[in-house]
Amino acid sequence: MSESLQILLHTKDPSNRLYVLVLELNSSTFLKIKISSPQEIIERSTERKYKSPLKNAYMIFMTDCSEAFKTAKSEKKFRQNSECFKDFSLLWSNSPKEVKDEYERVFENYKKDHSVNFINCNSQVTQLQII
């Protein structure tokens, strides 16, 4: 099934937004995945109350795929041909280097932004600090 998929980085969107396009050539169905910005990732993490920060670029890709899949399911043609888009790890492993590199870049920026926005709230003071 993966041989009928074509995955590419779409950089020519009028909004200057980056997308990953996954094309299923046999059914002429596609999935348009919006690449999240570091700020969007931080806001989503806060909104959804994630217990720990994202650990790698693949986790961001997986979250973006999930969002795109939920949106695309509203279209009948996509629902009828959506099976090949459900395996996010397969999509990641078949993605070209430019897609993975873009997600690595987003992840590195996310780590920088996330550490800047992190506030240490250690309200406990140990006995050694008091002395």
- pLDDT attached to residue 124: 52
- pLDDT attached to residue 24: 94
Gap between the Cα atoms of 88 and 127, Å rounded = 49
Residue with the larger pLDDT of the pair 125 and 89: 89
DSSP 28: T
Q: Considering the entire predicted model, what is its pTM? A: 0.81
Average pLDDT, integer, range 92-120: 85
pLDDT band at 131, cuts 50/70/90?
A: very low
Three-state DSSP at 6 gives strand
DSSP 35: P
Q: How would you write 57-120 as a 3-class SS string?
A: HHHHHHHHHHHHHHHHCCCHHHHHCCHHHCCHHHHHHHCCHHHHHHHHHHHHHHHHHHHHHCCC
- pLDDT attached to residue 119: 47
- pLDDT attached to residue 58: 97
Gap between the Cα atoms of 85 and 92, Å rounded = 11
Question: Mean pLDDT across the chain, nearest whole number?
Answer: 86
What confidence tens digit (pLDDT) does each residue in 116-126 have? 554 445 545 44
DSSP 9: E
Q: For the chain, what are the domain ranges?
A: 2-130
- pLDDT attached to residue 45: 86
What confidence tens digit (pLDDT) does each residue in 16-37 have? 889 999 999 999 999 999 999 9
